[in-house]
């Protein structure tokens, strides 16, 4: 049995930037609090917790004297992760005296700016539509740029429902954006449908906001999955990108198995003659892919 790790899998640039920044800060000895999980991978979060990174919620930072936080309040530093945050979060942090280190992904920052500009350009009748996972941290940050006045759709069916109900008015200008980690194929399908329903093309602006690194991963990963007998996809349970990419792998290779760590491997998945591919989400660390690959080799 041979085992190959996908060379393109692992953290995306935005996550690398946030984790590197957190580790450098922690190495200097100061307490650091991450607003939400810095990455959607349980194993990597455990590693960073051991270094002193504490994950907190918006309720924690909103409280004048949160019992869940320790140490001198004047030394508390809040990390904004790659997903980004709405303007309201920065206001609350400032009011409560938090020092903020901002590691919002530059790609996400650009989209946030584009959404604000679209609202200003097409006010008062313009509409913002976002293709993304409802409740996802990045999506909440995007919606927050326009005070919550945006429609989020997770799939084509939801888009059709929003049009049928009048939530999206095709007689008014529509700006459509995508969460950076969504499927390029699904986004193209949604944009094509929207375009087919709007007679006056001047009323539709389609913004190409899927991260280029993520977009290229879809094609590369499909080829990787197709070229192996078995695929082991490594991802955290909360990773939206992990769900999308693991489903992509399974669509081209039915012998695709999703695991969170090496402990979840099952020897019955493999045959001695198999060529096994190990890959993962943009939130999966390289060290975890390597750990899973070693364990697979030890199964037979």
- The string of pLDDT tens digits covering residues 106-150 is 999 999 999 999 999 998 889 999 999 999 999 999 999 999 999
CATH number 3.40.1010.20 is the correct assignment for the domain at 107-206: yes
Query: For 125-135, how does the pLDDT look when each residue is reduced to its tens digit (9 = 90+)?
Result: 899 999 999 99
Active site includes 42? no
Beta strand 99-102 pairing with 151-153: unpaired
Name the residue with tokens 């919620």.
57
Q: How far apart are the first and last CA of the chain?
A: 8
Task: Please report which confidence band the pLDDT of residue 75 belongs to, taking 50, 70 and 90 as the band edges.
Answer: low
Q: Give domain 13-104's CATH architecture.
A: 3-Layer(aba) Sandwich (3.40)
Can you tell me the mean pLDDT for 55-73? 73
- Domain coordinates of the chain in residue numbers? 2-10+212-299, 13-104, 107-206
Fold of 2-10+212-299: Cobalt-precorrin-4 Transmethylase; domain 1 (3.40.1010)
For residue 236, what pLDDT is reported?
92
Cβ atoms of 265 and 211 closer than 8 Å: no
13-104 shares the fold of 2-10+212-299: no
**Inter-CA distances, 78 with 7, 44, 200, 263, Å:** 33, 19, 46, 33
Peptide bond preceding 124 in cis form (omega within 30 of 0): yes
- Sequence-distant (6+) residues with CB within 8 A of 158 are none
| Mean pLDDT (the chain, rounded) | 93
Catalytic residue from among 67, 85, 88, 138: 138
CA distance 122 to 175: 9
Task: Please report which confidence band the pLDDT of residue 185 belongs to, taking 50, 70 and 90 as the band edges.
Answer: very high
DSSP string of 203-233, one letter each residue: GEEE---S-HHHHHHHHHHHHHHHTSSEEEE
Can you tell me the mean pLDDT for 70-81? 76
For residue 161, what pLDDT is reported?
98
Q: Which residue has the higher pLDDT, 65 or 130?
A: 130
For residue 230, what pLDDT is reported?
98
């Amino acid at each position: 049995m041979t085992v190959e790790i996908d060379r393109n899998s692992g953290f995306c640039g935005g996550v690398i930037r946030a984790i590197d920044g957190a580790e450098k800060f922690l190495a200097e000895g100061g307490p650091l609090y991450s607003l939400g999980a810095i990455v959607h991978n349980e194993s990597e979060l455990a590693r960073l917790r051991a270094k002193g990174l504490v994950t907190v919620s918006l309720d924690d930072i909103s409280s004048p004297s949160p019992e869940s936080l320790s140490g001198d309040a004047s030394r508390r530093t809040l990390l904004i992760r790659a997903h980004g945050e709405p303007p309201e979060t920065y206001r609350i942090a400032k009011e409560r005296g938090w020092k903020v280190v901002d590691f919002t992904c530059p790609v996400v920052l650009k989209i946030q700016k584009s959404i604000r500009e679209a609202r200003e350009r097409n006010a008062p009748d313009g509409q913002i539509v976002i293709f993304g996972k409802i409740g996802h941290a990045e999506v909440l940050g995007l919606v927050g740029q326009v005070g919550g006045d945006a429609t989020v759709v997770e799939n084509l069916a939801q888009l059709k429902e929003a049009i049928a109900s009048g939530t999206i008015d095709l007689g008014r200008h529509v700006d459509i954006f995508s969460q950076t980690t969504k499927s390029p194929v699904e986004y193209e399908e949604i944009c094509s449908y929207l375009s087919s329903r709007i007679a006056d093309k001047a009323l539709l602006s389609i913004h190409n906001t899927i991260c280029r690194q993520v977009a290229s991963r879809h094609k590369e990963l499909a080829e990787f999955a197709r070229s192996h007998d078995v695929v082991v996809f490594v991802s955290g349970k909360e990773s939206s990108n992990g769900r999308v990419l693991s489903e992509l792998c399974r669509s081209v290779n039915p012998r695709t198995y999703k695991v969170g760590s090496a402990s979840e491997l099952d020897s019955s998945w493999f045959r001695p003659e198999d060529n096994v591919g190990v890959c993962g989400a943009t939130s999966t660390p390289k060290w975890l892919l390597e750990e899973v690959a070693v364990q697979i080799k030890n199964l037979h």
